[in-house]
C-alpha cells in the first residue's frame, strides 16, 4: 500500500517535472558551530551545513520550497527568506519575535513557502540577533521556462558573489552589545564568498582569495548579495564593465557601469562579458564605504578575489604566482571610502525594465526620520556618549517583544499582551529638526496598523548633519516602488515633482542616502506582521526598526491562514537568554 503510494507520487512528480510544472525544492539546513580557519586562526562560527557562506537555494519561479532547519547550535534560531513575498504566508517569514519564537537548540522546524512572481537573486539569513553574519546564503530564482527567457543575453554561466564579513567574536554577544548601545565591535575582515583575500595580514596569498575562473569571450551572470552587517560596498573588476540587469529579484533596464554599489540586504544581478586580454588576471575588489567624520572612523574593509581567464597561467606557474608575485594581477581603481555620490548615482540610475503600475491615490502618508539617539540606563547621569547610542525611527527605538511574537499576539487578537507596545507616530516629533545634535530616545515595540489593500507612501529621511549614515531600509513581505531620492531635507512641495511614476525600480530594500531621503510606495496586499528595519547590523539591532501590522481583507483570499501545526512553540522559551 505504502509502496503503491510512493510509486504514484513518483509518477505525479515526474509528470509535473516533464510538463515544466512547479516542483518542490527541498533542503536540510543543519545549523551548528564549527571551527573554520581564516586569517591564520581557527574560529568557532555558527553556520549551515558546515559552510560559510551557506548553501545556495536554486528554484524556478513558481516552485515551492521546504527547508528543514535542524538546530544543533546553542542559540535559538530563525531563518528569514529575504525578499520573498510570502503571500498569505507570514508565518514562514522567520523574523525572530516578530513572526515566531526561535527554534530552540536541538529542535527542528521546516519552513514551507512558494516563490511566485519574482525572478533574480534573493537570499536567506538567520533573523535572530546578529547571527546572520555567518548564517546566510543566496536564493536564486530562474524563470519557469528556463534561461532562454531571460530578458538579456543568455549567460554561459551563473556565479554567486556573496559579500560578507568575518567575525571572530561571538555573534550573540555582539548583538547584546548593540542592543545596549555599544557600537565598538568590528568584524576582522571583509569576504567574497567567504574568503578574505590577499590584502589581509596573515592571509596575503592568492589562495585565500575567491577565484572566478572564466573563458575569454563569454557572458557570465554574477548574482551579487551583500550579506555584511556593517557596511555598504563598492564592487569593481579591473578591466571590465558590468551590465546590471536585476536588483532585489526584479528586472531593471540594462545599465552599464564599471562600479556596483551594494548596501546590506541588497542584491544585484549583473552580466560580465569576458572581453579583456585572455592571458590576464584581474582583481575583483569589494571595498566598504563609510560615513565621513565626525562619525567615528572604522578601519578600511577591503577584500579581493581574482577573475582568472583560462588562457592565463597554467598549473605550474600558478603555484609560483600564488606563493609570491601578485604584481601581474591588474587592480581596479576604487572609489574613495567617503564617496557617497557614486552610490547615490548607482541607485538613482536604476529603472525597472517594464513600466510599473504606480498607484496614484495614496491613502497613508508616512514620514520616517531615521536617526540615532541616546538611551540613559538606570542610575546613569551622563549618557550622551558612544556607549549609549540607539537606532530609532521617529524618535522611538524599536524593542522586540520578549515573550510573545507580534504575529501570534495579533492573530489571537491579543496585542495588548505586549507590554512594550506603542503606536509608531506618522511623523517625527520635531519635523524640521533633523540637523539637531542627538537627543534622548525611548524604547518600545513600535507598530503601525495598516488596513488591507491601501497604498502607503513612506518618505525616509536620514539626518542631514552630524552623526549620519546611509540607511538600507528593508521591508518584509512586500516590494517598494522606489520613486525618488535626494540629498538634503525632503521638501514635500518641490520633491514630488521628481518622482518617477513611470518605471521606478522595485526593491525590497531602499537605499536612503546619507544626508538625504528616499520616497517609496507599496500596497498592503499581504496580511500579517511585517518587519521594517535598516539592514545595517548596528542600526537594526539597536532599534532602527518598526513593524507593520497589515490587517486581513474581506475575503478568504485576503485572510491570513492559521499557523502551521508544528510551529515552534514559545513555551519554555527563555527570552532572557536571547534578548537581554
Ligand atoms: Cu534581510 Cu529583516 O531582513
Cα of 305 from ligand 1 centre, angstroms = 27
CA distance linking residue 500 with residue 356, whole number of Å:
10
Higher pLDDT, 289 or 292: 289
Distance 414 CA to ligand 1 centre (A): 25
Check pocket membership of 539 for ligand 1, CB cut-off 6 A. no
Answer whether residue 125 shows pLDDT above 50.
yes
Cα of 474 from ligand 1 centre, angstroms: 7
User: Which tens digit of pLDDT belongs to each residue from 515-524?
Assistant: 999 999 999 9
Q: What's the 532 CA to ligand 1 centre distance in angstroms?
A: 8
Helix (H, G, I), strand (E, B) or coil at 173: helix
Going from the Cα of 351 to the center of ligand 1, the distance in angstroms, rounded, reads 23
Q: Where are the beta strands (DSSP E) in 536-576?
A: 545-550
The whole-number pLDDT of residue 437 equals 59
Residues in CB range of 431: below 8 A, 6 or more apart: 367
**Residue 15: is its pLDDT beyond 60?**
no
DSSP 326-394: -TTEE-PPPPPTT--HHHHHHHHT--BSS--------SEEEEEEEEEEE-PPTT-S---STTSEEEEET
Question: With 70 as the cut, is the pLDDT of residue 280 above it?
Answer: yes
The verdict on the CB of residue 136 being under 6 Å from ligand 1 is: no
The DSSP output letter for 171 is H
Q: Is 60 exceeded by the pLDDT of residue 8? A: no
Q: Starting at the edge strand that comes first in sequence, how are the strands of the sheet with 79-82 ordered?
A: 57-60, 136-142, 120-126, 79-82
For ligand 1, whether the C-beta of 476 sits within 6 Å is yes
Cβ–ligand 1 distance for 80 under 6 Å, the answer yes
Distance 153 CA to ligand 1 centre (A): 31
Q: What is the pLDDT of residues 423-436, one digit of tens each?
A: 999 998 765 455 55
* Distance between CA atoms of residues 219 and 271, nearest Å: 7
pLDDT average, residue stretch 448-453: 98
Instruction: Please give the backbone phi and psi of residue 125, each rounded to the nearest 5 degrees, phi first.
Output: -160, 160
Among 57-71, 196-210, 363-377, 443-457, the range scoring the smallest mean pLDDT is: 196-210
Find out whether the beta carbon of 88 lies less than 6 Å from any atom of ligand 1: no
Q: What contacts 2, CB < 8 A, 6 or more positions away?
A: none
95 lines ligand 1 (CB under 6 A): yes
- Ligand 1 mean position to 225 CA, how many Å? 13
Distance, CA 476 to ligand 1 centroid (Å)? 7
Cis preceding-peptide flag for 53 (omega within 30 of 0): yes
Q: Which of 176-185, 244-253, 340-349, 373-382 has the lowest mean pLDDT?
A: 373-382
Split at pLDDT 50, 70, 90, the class of 20 is low
Give the SS3 label for residue 458.
strand
pLDDT at 431: 56
474 CB near ligand 1 (under 6 Å): yes
Nearest-CA residue for atom 3 of ligand 1: 82
Contact between 81 and 113 under an 8 Å Cβ cutoff? The reply is yes
Q: How far is the CA of 411 from the centre of ligand 1 (A)?
A: 22
- Which pLDDT belongs to residue 168? 96
Among the atoms of ligand 1, which is closest to the Cα of residue 83? 1
Give 132-147 as a DSSP string.
Answer: GGTSEEEEEEE-TT-G
Average pLDDT over the chain reads 90
161 close to ligand 1 (CB < 6 Angstrom):
no
In the predicted structure, residue 145 carries a pLDDT above the cut 70: yes
Q: Kindly give the distance from the C-alpha atom of residue 125 to the centroid of ligand 1, in angstroms, as a whole number.
A: 8
Query: Which ligand 1 atom is at minimum distance from the Cα of 265?
Result: 1
**259's grid cell:** 562600479
In this predicted structure, the answer to whether residue 29 has a pLDDT above a threshold of 70 is yes
Q: What's the per-residue H, E or C state across 242-283?
A: EEEEEECCEEEEEEEECCEEECCCCEEEEEEECCCCCCCEEE
* Paired strand residues for 124: 81, 137
Query: What's the confidence (pLDDT) of residue 518?
Result: 98
pLDDT of 578 reads: 45
- Segment holding 219, helix H or strand E: strand 219-226
Of all protein residues, the one whose alpha carbon is nearest to atom 1 of ligand 1 is 82
Confidence of residue 18 (pLDDT cuts 50, 70, 90): very low
- Return the number of other C-beta atoms located less than 10 Å from residue 216's C-beta: 15
- Gap from CA of 81 to ligand 1 centroid (Å): 8
Cβ of residue 477 lying under 6 Å from some atom of ligand 1: no
Spacing, Cα 376 to ligand 1 middle (Å): 28
Span from the CA of 136 to the centroid of ligand 1 (angstroms): 11
Distance 80 CA to ligand 1 centre (A): 7
Under 8 Å CB-to-CB from 433, ≥6 apart: which residues?
Answer: none
Residue 150: band (very low, low, confident or very high) from pLDDT cuts 50, 70, 90: very high
Provide the pLDDT confidence category of residue 472 given band limits of 50, 70 and 90: very high
Percent of the chain with pLDDT over 90: 77
Domains of the chain, first to last: 364-558 (2.60.40.420)
Atom of ligand 1 nearest to the CA of 531: 2
Range in 54-58, 287-291, 376-380, 449-453 with the lowest mean pLDDT: 376-380
Inter-residue contact 358 to 481 (CB < 8 Å): yes
Dihedral (Cα; 441, 407, 61, 473), 10-degree rounding: -10
- 208 Cβ partners below 8 Å, 6+ apart? 38, 195, 196, 197, 198, 200
Judge whether 467 and 439 are in contact, CB under 8 Å: no
168-218 per-position pLDDT tens digit? 999 999 999 999 888 889 999 999 999 999 998 675 677 788 999 999 999
- Cβ of residue 82 lying under 6 Å from some atom of ligand 1: yes
Atom of ligand 1 nearest to the CA of 540: 2
Quick check: CB of 533 below 6 Å from ligand 1? yes
- pLDDT per residue as tens digits for the range 385-421: 667 888 999 999 999 999 999 999 999 999 999 999 9
Query: What cell numbers appear for 428 in the block?
Result: 517625527
Q: Kindly tell me if the per-residue pLDDT of 570 is higher than 50.
A: yes
**What sign does the CA torsion over 527, 532, 535, 537 have?**
negative
Instruction: Look at phi and psi of residue 53 and say left if phi exceeds 0, alpha if psi is from -120 to 50, else beta.
Output: beta
Determine the pLDDT at residue 573.
60
pLDDT at 326: 59
How far is the C-alpha of 440 from the C-alpha of 375, rounded, in Å?
A: 6
Q: Hey, which of 311-320, 440-449, 459-468 has the most confident mean pLDDT?
A: 440-449
pLDDT surpasses 60 at 313: no
Taking the CA of residue 82 as reference, the ligand 1 atom at the shortest distance is: 1
The pLDDT assigned to 340 comes to 95
Looking at residue 438, what is its pLDDT? 67
Across 15-29, 256-270, 320-334, 489-503, least confident range: 320-334
Give the integer Cα–Cα distance in Å for 218 and 226.
25
* 531 C-beta closer than 6 A to ligand 1: yes
> Is any ligand 1 atom within 6 A of the Cβ of residue 120?
no
Atom number, ligand 1, closest to the C-alpha of residue 476: 2
* Selection from 235, 248, 240 nearest residue 342 by Cα: 235
* 533 CA closest ligand 1 atom index: 2
Atom number, ligand 1, closest to the C-alpha of residue 509:
1
Q: Which residue has the cell 532585489?
A: 248
CA of 127 to the centre of ligand 1 (A): 7
Q: How far is CA 245 from CA 56, 232, 351, in A?
A: 20, 20, 10
Amino acid at each position: 500500500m505504502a509502496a503503491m503510494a510512493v510509486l504514484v507520487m513518483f509518477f505525479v512528480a515526474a509528470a509535473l517535472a516533464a510538463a515544466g510544472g512547479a516542483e518542490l525544492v527541498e533542503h536540510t539546513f543543519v545549523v551548528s558551530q564549527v571551527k573554520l580557519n581564516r586569517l591564520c586562526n581557527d574560529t568557532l562560527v555558527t553556520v549551515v551545513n558546515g559552510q560559510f557562506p551557506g548553501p545556495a537555494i536554486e528554484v524556478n519561479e513558481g516552485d515551492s520550497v521546504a527547508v528543514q532547519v535542524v538546530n544543533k547550535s546553542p542559540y535559538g534560531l530563525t531563518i528569514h527568506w529575504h525578499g520573498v513575498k510570502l503571500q498569505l504566508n507570514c508565518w514562514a517569514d522567520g523574523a525572530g519575535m516578530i513572526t515566531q519564537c526561535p527554534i530552540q537548540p536541538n529542535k527542528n522546524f521546516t519552513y514551507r513557502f512558494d516563490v511566485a512572481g519574482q525572478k533574480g537573486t534573493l537570499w536567506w539569513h538567520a533573523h535572530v540577533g546578529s547571527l546572520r553574519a555567518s548564517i546566510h546564503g543566496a536564493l536564486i530564482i530562474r524563470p519557469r521556462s528556463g534561461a532562454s527567457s531571460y530578458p538579456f543575453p543568455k549567460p554561459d554561466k551563473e556565479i554567486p558573489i556573496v559579500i560578507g564579513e568575518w567575525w571572530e567574536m561571538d555573534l550573540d554577544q555582539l548583538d547584546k552589545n548593540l542592543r545596549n548601545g555599544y557600537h565598538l565591535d568590528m568584524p576582522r575582515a571583509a569576504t567574497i564568498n567567504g574568503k578574505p583575500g590577499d590584502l589581509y595580514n596573515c592571509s596575503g596569498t592568492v589562495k585565500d582569495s575567491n577565484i572566478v575562473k572564466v573563458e575569454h569571450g563569454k557572458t557570465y551572470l554574477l548574482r551579487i548579495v551583500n550579506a555584511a552587517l556593517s557596511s555598504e560596498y563598492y564592487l569593481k573588476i579591473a578591466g571590465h564593465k558590468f551590465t546590471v540587469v536585476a536588483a532585489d529579484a526584479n528586472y531593471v533596464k540594462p545599465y552599464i557601469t564599471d562600479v556596483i554599489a551594494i548596501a546590506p540586504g541588497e542584491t544585484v544581478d549583473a552580466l560580465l562579458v569576458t572581453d579583456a586580454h585572455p592571458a590576464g588576471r584581474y582583481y575583483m575588489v569589494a571595498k566598504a564605504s563609510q560615513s565621513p567624520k565626525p562619525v567615528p572612523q572604522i578601519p578600511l574593509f577591503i577584500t579581493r578575489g581574482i577573475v582568472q581567464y583560462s588562457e592565463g597561467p597554467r598549473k605550474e606557474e600558478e603555484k609560483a604566482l600564488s606563493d609570491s608575485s601578485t604584481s601581474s594581477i591588474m587592480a581596479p581603481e576604487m572609489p574613495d571610502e567617503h564617496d557617497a555620490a557614486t552610490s547615490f548615482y548607482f541607485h538613482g540610475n536604476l529603472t525597472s525594465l517594464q513600466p510599473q503600475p504606480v498607484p496614484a491615490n495614496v491613502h497613508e502618508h508616512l514620514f520616517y526620520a531615521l536617526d540615532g539617539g541616546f538611551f540613559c540606563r538606570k542610575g546613569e547621569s551622563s549618557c550622551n556618549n558612544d556607549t549609549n547610542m540607539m537606532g530609532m525611527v521617529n524618535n522611538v527605538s524599536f524593542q522586540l517583544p520578549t515573550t510573545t511574537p507580534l504575529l501570534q499576539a495579533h492573530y489571537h487578537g491579543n496585542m495588548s499582551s505586549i507590554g512594550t507596545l506603542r503606536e509608531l507616530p506618522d511623523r517625527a516629533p520635531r519635523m524640521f529638526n533633523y540637523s539637531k545634535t542627538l537627543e534622548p530616545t525611548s524604547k518600545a515595540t513600535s507598530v503601525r496598523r495598516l488596513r488591507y489593500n491601501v497604498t502607503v507612501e513612506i518618505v525616509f529621511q536620514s539626518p542631514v548633519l552630524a552623526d549620519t549614515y546611509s540607511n538600507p531600509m528593508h521591508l518584509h513581505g512586500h516590494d517598494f516602488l522606489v520613486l525618488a531620492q535626494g540629498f538634503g531635507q525632503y521638501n514635500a512641495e518641490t520633491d514630488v515633482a521628481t518622482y518617477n511614476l513611470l518605471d521606478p525600480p522595485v526593491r525590497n530594500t531602499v537605499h536612503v542616502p546619507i544626508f538625504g531621503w528616499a520616497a517609496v510606495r507599496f500596497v498592503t496586499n499581504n496580511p500579517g506582521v511585517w518587519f521594517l528595519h535598516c539592514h545595517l547590523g548596528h542600526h537594526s539591532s539597536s532599534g532602527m526598526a518598526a513593524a507593520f501590522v497589515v490587517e486581513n481583507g474581506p475575503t478568504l483570499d485576503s485572510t491570513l491562514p492559521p499557523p502551521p501545526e508544528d510551529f515552534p512553540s514559545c513555551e519554555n522559551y527563555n527570552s532572557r537568554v536571547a534578548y537581554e
